[in-house]
Structures are given as C-alpha cells and as structure tokens.
Structure 1
Amino acid sequence: MFNIGDFARLGRVSVRMLRHYDSIGLLRPAAVDPHTGYRYYRADQLRRLNRVIALKELGLTLEQVRAIVDDAVDVAELRGMLRLRRSQLEAQLAADTARLAAVEARLRTIESEGQMNTQDVVLKEIAPVRVAELTAVADSYQSTDIGPVIQPLYPELFRRLAAAGVTPTGPGIAWYEPAGTDGGEAVVVHAGVQVTADPSTAGDFAVVDLPGVRAAATIVHQGPMDDVEQSMQVLARWIEENGYRTDGFAREVYLDYCADEPEKGITELQLAVRRS
C-alpha cells in the first residue's frame, strides 16, 4: 500500500483533496494506522479516484459524483459523459473566442474614432446584378451572429456551382433582410456570387436578380469583417451629415476575399440611402 503522500502523487492530486474526499466518504483510505492516524491506499483505488476526478470535471457536485461512482458507472458510460462534456467545452471555447474577437474589434473601433474620415464615402447608383445564392437565418445582425452563419455558406455555394457547371462571373455579394414581420432581430443571410446562369437551370441553389439601388452610400473596407463596425460608423456619420436615411442593412461586395488571410480582404459596403 501507499501512504497518502505517495498515493496523491501517483494520482496527480493534492493530499488536501484526498483528506477531504475521506472526510465526506467519497474515497476512504484502504487502511488507517490506529496509533498514528496515517492513511494508506491501494493501487486499485486509483480507478475510483480517476472516476471521481473525471466526473468532477464534468461539472458535477461531489455529492452527485459519489452517487454515480457508488452505482459503479462503467467505462463506456463514463466515456460517453466525458465526450459530451468535451463537446460542450469546445462549443463554450468557440463562443468565448468569438466574444473576445468582438470585444477586440469594438475596442479598435473606439480607438479609431478620431481617425474616421467621411471623405472616403462615395454616393453612387448600383446596377442590378444576377447572382446564385444560398440563404440561412442568423439570430441578429451582430457580427458575432452573422459570421458563423455566412462563413459556411460560401464554400457550400461554390461546391454546388461547380457540381452544376456554373462559373461565377464576378465577386461574392452578401445582403441581409429581416427574417420576419414580428419585429424580432433575426435576419435572413443571403450569400451570393455573380453569375450569368438562367434561373431555370438552378439546382440546389437559387439564381435571382438582385435589384439595383438608385442611391447608395459606399465605402471600401480593408481588413477582416470582424472590424467592419469601423467602416459602418464612417458611413453612419456621412449619412447623417448629408441629410440621408437608411435601414442599416449593408450590401457587402467582396472585391478581394481572403479566407486564409482575412486582414488582406477588401470589401465594398453599400448602404441604400434616401433623403430624410
């Protein structure tokens, strides 16, 4: 048998933790010296310790852990529980990473407020264009909600176009509209690319004519779309200063889309405007 210190090192836990587990009846020592009070453990008790630690990492309370290990949960069940928890943690990590990126982007927007230049805004007419598209719904127009929805649409769209023998004739164009009339924040995300295909030849994608815009305030955004708020706010200032109104939904024309190096991307933002 092993004394408590040796057993703690073998199990990669602290002595204090083992003493606590003993006090609550979760992992009793195999023997206790009646004269010294020293605790001793057997090697096969590491199996129970492993299960206790694994279940604790799942977020269970020690009382819940004891109930499970006392019911002798088998390896397959434990593996399934751990895989589920791993998936949950991965999803949480992805969400936290996205939130951190959004915070950093907003900080960059704040830091650049004094450097925004409305002279880069151009008012122009946008011609109609035919596009092949796929659509999906995002919870809101926030970048953190739009990004995960639109990003997988383009690879899938290009895959379907290639399968149908349709060749894009121009850049990708994304646009947005409310998902319903109930006043909610959900938006329909349109991921499109210019084509000359006949609508009747479309298969598992749609071919639509995107209408022209009589007057659009436009600006060329350089860099990742995570930082698009900076350019959007330049447009907002220009629109207000020049007496226009807009619904706030920008058309995005990906003049130079760099999936692997988003910081090199070039996107024209187009906001339809009208006089106040």
Structure 2
Amino acid sequence: MFRIGEFSRLTQVTVRMLRYYDETGLLRPARVDPRTGYRLYETRQIPRLNQIIYLRDSGFNVAEIVAALDAEEKGLLAKQLDRKSAEIGAEIEACREKLRKLGTARRALLNGGGGIHFDISVKPVAECLALSLRRTIPDYYGEGLLWKELAGFAGQRRIALTGEPFSIYHDPDYQEKQVDVELCVPIKESVADRDGFTCRTVEAVPFMASTMVCGDFSNIAGAFQAFARWLQDNEVYRMAGLTRQIVHRGPWNEDDPDHYLTELQIPLEIA
C-alpha cells in the first residue's frame, strides 16, 4: 500500500485533489491507519482515479462524475459523454484540448482502453559532477525556458559538457503548479558557482528503476502508474529518493511529439 504522498507521485495527482476526492466520496483511501491517521492507497484504485480525471478534464462537475460512475449501462454513459462533447465543440479553439481528453475518456471508459506497455528495469546510476540550476517554476511547461538559460550560461563560459542532461524533481509529492525542479548537466571539470548556477556532485543511485516513454509528454502519467504496479508486484524494493527525467528526444530535436522519447527514473532501496 502507498501513503498519500507516494500515491500522489505515482499517479501524478496532487495530494490536495486526493483529499478532495476523499471528502466528496469519489475516491476513498483503501485504508486509514487507525494509529497514525495516514491515508493508504492501492493500485486497484488507479482505474477509478483515471475515470474521475478523464471526466473532470472533460468538464464534468462532481455531481455529473458521480452520476457517470454510477451509470450501470454503457449506453447511458455514452449519451452523457456525447452531450458533453457537443458542448465542448461549441467553444471552438479554447476547448480543443478538452475535446481530445473527452475522446480519451470514451476509449478508456467504453472500450476498456488498451493503454501503453512500459518495460521497467533496475540499473545502477553512477555519481557525476554536474552544472546545476534549481528553481521553482510555475508549471512543467516552464522547464524548457530553464534549459535555454542553462545552455546559454554554459555556452558563454565555454563549459565542457560530458553527458546527457537530466532533471531532478524535489517536491515530495506531485505538484501541478510551483514545481521545484533542478536541471543538471554532467561536466568535465569543476566551475565556480555564479548567478544561481552551482557545481555539485550528484550522488550515485545503486538501484534506479527506469522506463522509456515514447510519444507525447501526456504519456508520462501512464508510465508513473506502471511504476506503481511494478512496485506493488516487486515488494523487495521501495521508493527511496527524488524522481529524475531525461528527455532523449523532445521539442528541441524532434518536430513530431509522437516521436518524443523520455526516460523516467525512480531511486529504490531494498525493503
């Protein structure tokens, strides 16, 4: 079972929203520890959480979500989804993203959704000397501007880069806004700290769970859910550090989002 912060990280849903879903009865914890009061969740709850998110992102309010989840006939659920689709279509450009999410909801809720298969492996990651830039950014889309800033700093000072850049996420649970992120680029030689940029040794990780995510960044949420299932099936390991991400192919070197390639990494320890 997972504490609420761990479940938040693995499902990419904020602790605030999980607590709200508990309060409204949409998603109760699998168990509440009677001694500590901690909310505890299981992977079997992920499909219902996905249904809530699909419907929420499609514009359904709490009462409509309850009605949709309680609908026993798929025909009734299809009519509800179709009605919302017509409403969103009328909003033209501003609602194109909602239309895409509604299509995803129909496939997942009515057809069982196939999903994407993620192969998870465990490997050691060596320590490295890195040029680091850590900031709190408004949301994940702000990370691209930070990478440009770091690349400009390294270029102006002719700092020799020796490896693949990666991000480290310092928030203890998933955040939609005000994301605490650290960008790291391996370097050959130590450089002086300046203007918010620091030179530090990023520690080695003996056991790093890793998976590759192909396609648009929206596929990343499914990869974290795959991590959750894998961790529950492999109880010899438990999460033990900050999540890392390496974008091997992204907006700067690939025009088609369907061809993006992102590596997600979660440090582990022996349970």
- Shorter-chain TM-score range: 0.5 to 0.7
Which ranges of structure 1 fall in alignment gaps of 5 or more residues? 1-93, 140-144
**Does structure 1 conserve the Cα–Cα contact (< 8 Å) formed by 2:124 and 2:205?**
yes
| Structure exhibiting the larger radius of gyration computed from Cα positions | 1
Amino acid at match of 1:175: I
Give 1:196 shift: 1.5
**Does structure 2 conserve the Cα–Cα contact (< 8 Å) formed by 1:131 and 1:210?**
yes
Which of 206, 213, 219 is residue 211 of structure 2 equivalent to? 219
The whole-number CA distance in structure 2 between the counterparts of 1:193 and 1:101 is: 38
Change (3 A) 1:192 1:239: same
Number of matched pairs: 173
Tell whether 2:267 aligns with 1:272. Answer: yes
Report what 2:194 is aligned to. 203
Residues 248-263 of structure 1 mapped to structure 2, 5 A cutoff = 249-259=242-252, 261=255, 262-263=257-258
SS of the aligned residue for 2:170 comes to strand
SS of the aligned residue for 1:199 comes to coil
Tell whether 2:117 aligns with 1:117. Answer: yes
Residues 96-175 of structure 1 mapped to structure 2, 5 A cutoff = 100=98, 103=101, 107=105, 110=108, 114-117=114-117, 120-138=119-137, 145-147=139-141, 149-175=142-168
SS of the aligned residue for 2:184 comes to strand
The whole-number CA distance in structure 2 between the counterparts of 1:186 and 1:236 is: 24
Change (3 A) 1:179 1:121: closer
Which of 202, 220, 241 is residue 233 of structure 2 equivalent to? 241
Report what 2:182 is aligned to. 190
Alpha carbon RMSD of aligned pairs, Å?
3.8
TM-score (norm 1): 0.52
The whole-number CA distance in structure 1 between the counterparts of 2:103 and 2:183 is: 23
Change (3 A) 1:224 1:108: farther
Larger RCO of the pair (alpha carbons < 8 Å, separation 6+): 2
Alignment deviations for residues 66-88 of structure 1 (CA, whole Å, 9 cap, x no partner): xxxxxxxxxxxxxxxxxxxxxxx
SS of the aligned residue for 2:194 comes to coil
Give 1:193 shift: 1.7
Extract structure 1 runs of 4+ deviating beyond 6 A: 96-99
**Does structure 1 conserve the Cα–Cα contact (< 8 Å) formed by 2:240 and 2:269?**
no
Which ranges of structure 2 fall in alignment gaps of 5 or more residues? 1-92
TM-score (norm 2): 0.53
